Structure 1
Amino acid sequence: MTYIGESSQLFGANETYIAELYSKWAIDPNSVDPGWADFFETLEPGDVDLQDDHKGPSWTKRKTAVMGQATSGQGASLSDYLSDPDLKQDALHQLLAAIKGGGVAASGSDQIRQATLDSIRALMLIRAYRMRGHMAANLDPLGLEKRGDHPELDPASYDFEERDYDRPIFINYYLGLESATLREIIKICRQTYCGNIGVEFLHIQDAEEKSWIQEKIESSRNRKDFTDLGRRTILERMTHADMFETYLDTKYRGTKRFGLDGAESLVPMMEQIFKRGAQLGMEEAVL
């Protein structure tokens, strides 16, 4: 018989996470990682009280959800820590320490603990890129400034080593993938958040707006593939805007006015908004 006591470090702070995985496994054994499925198979009815403890009385609201799913009621899931800048990562670091230091008398417990550690650390790294990636973005086209990575973007900050880079990690469809190696996660995060466009959005209070921005930039990896004609048109419109500003400066020298410095791309952007808006039935725009 496999016994998991209440003192086990697989419980406590992360009990809700495991209880949710168990709930999913009970409905469909193929819906969870094979390592977790094998572990749940070893449990006997008398060993499994975590689900009832997790649910609580029948009249209470559901407390949390598996990583990546929305929550309701009380409590905060790992996904809350990954998306909400007001929830500090100290709690996750404490959780990692608890799992690392715990001993569990169960078959395959080392593999389960390692898989849990990998998942949590990978999701912490993804969250760090969402919060700090813009600080490492390539915003200097001339390469005059030396870029330095933020320490929170270093996998070593989460105890990852070189040998961990090619091991599959379950990330529950974060970044659009169920599982990915650490090398793949870093590549996607750097393409999305550390390219030529920096994105800082986790400070937004409206959860729907924040989720919309995140979905848009991560689904395309923050890149837009324009046609050659599209690129030429954008350059042409930006050049026209700059030339028109130069003309006004020459024609009305000394006159107080507002310039386009740093916002030249606003002109082709507004033109595209009006064109697309007209196609969708827009009849009027207020500036």
Structure 2
Amino acid sequence: MTDLSAFYGPNAGYVLDLYDQYLANPAAVEPELRAFFTDFTPPNLNGTTTVLPASAPAKPGVDIKAVVGAASLAEAIRDWGHLAAQLDPLGSPPIGAPELDPGFHGLTEDTLAALPVEAIPTDVSANAANAAEVIRNLRHIYGGQIGYDFDQVQIAAERAWLREAVEHGRFNQPLSTEQKHRLLKRLTEVEGFERFLHQTYAGQKRFSVEGTDILVPMLDVIIRDSATAGVREVVIGMAHRGRLNVMAHVFEKPYAAILAAFEGGKGKATAATDTSSDNGITGDVKYHLGAK
């Protein structure tokens, strides 16, 4: 056995440390470990497999500290990679984090290049030649323009599923030209509606969708896929921000009914024939009656 992917993060380094103890004195480890290490041949620093003679096995040249450091760097990228994302179109550098620097973990690029991919068990290591390429792949995923935050998920199996999905690129699929046009059209509707409200009803109380515009096309996909899976009813409870846009573009509440709330009593003229209007009732914000 040479695959360390069964051991998560620093655990791989711990296994190699125990293996060193086994090589020095087999009696120093538990019987179960001795049985495991009988068929275990760890990768060495140049990425090949160390073949150990049965009679007098040679101690493999694995830098345990480097393995642990590489695993620690990989975890830091998962946790703090978003701080290295280039988001400013004008080119100002991201704020970064010291934990994202290999030197913080006692590593250099050459050290990472010398480590085999098994040093960092992850789904992105499949096509990598060494640990340095694995780290570059992780930086591309977690330092890109999509942020992932699921550490608060308390069920380990769910966290593992999310990580596997992220690192397999499931949430970053390429879009066809038609899909891009459709998405642009939807975002233009969302942005146009917000601009109209801002310019026409300046100073009136509302909570803009600005900054979360993608919410509307995201809900489109969720509802469409839910319907395909057999769901017949969707109930949405949400924060204030973006509700007007969700009501207009997801629930298809007529613009006239929404604008009537801004116009006050003027909305009564349409309320008699429009069951989705607020019947001229405005309240403190424009959407407390919601939409159906």
TM-score (norm 1): 0.61
**Structure 2 contact 115–130 (Cα < 8 Å) conserved:** yes
Cα distance, 1:180 vs structure 2: 4.5
Distance 1:19 1:271, change over 3 A: farther
Quote the Cα distance in structure 2 between the aligned partners of 1:189 and 1:210: 17
Q: Check if 1:117 corresponds to 2:65.
A: yes
Q: Check if 1:133 corresponds to 2:81.
A: yes
Q: Structure 2 stretches of 5 or more lacking a match? A: 1-15, 23-27, 237-292
Quote the Cα distance in structure 1 between the aligned partners of 2:174 and 2:87: 19
Cα distance, 1:281 vs structure 2: 1.0
State the structure with more CA Rg.
Answer: 2
1:186-205 deviation line (CA, Å, top 9, x unaligned):
21011111111232332433
Q: Check if 1:236 corresponds to 2:185.
A: yes
TM-score (norm 2): 0.60
Aligned counterpart in structure 2 of residue 152 of structure 1, from 99, 106, 113? 99
Mapping of 1:1-287 within 5 angstroms?
A: 10-11=17-18, 23-26=35-38, 29=39, 32-33=41-42, 38=51, 41-42=54-55, 107-109=58-60, 111=61, 113-114=62-63, 116-143=64-91, 145-169=92-116, 170-171=118-119, 173-177=121-125, 180-220=129-169, 223-287=172-236
Cα distance, 1:39 vs structure 2: 5.0
1:16-42 deviation line (CA, Å, top 9, x unaligned):
99988755454xx3x753558745845
**Structure 2 contact 150–159 (Cα < 8 Å) conserved:** yes
Q: Structure 1 stretches of 5 or more lacking a match? A: 1-8, 44-105
Greater RCO (CA < 8 Å, at least 6 residues apart): 1
Count of aligned pairs:
210
Cα distance, 1:150 vs structure 2: 1.6
Distance 1:34 1:200, change over 3 A: closer
1:143-175 deviation line (CA, Å, top 9, x unaligned):
2x3224322111122222343243242236423
Distance 1:249 1:272, change over 3 A: same
**Structure 1 contact 137–196 (Cα < 8 Å) conserved:** yes
AA partner of residue 232 (structure 1): H
Distance 1:194 1:176, change over 3 A: closer
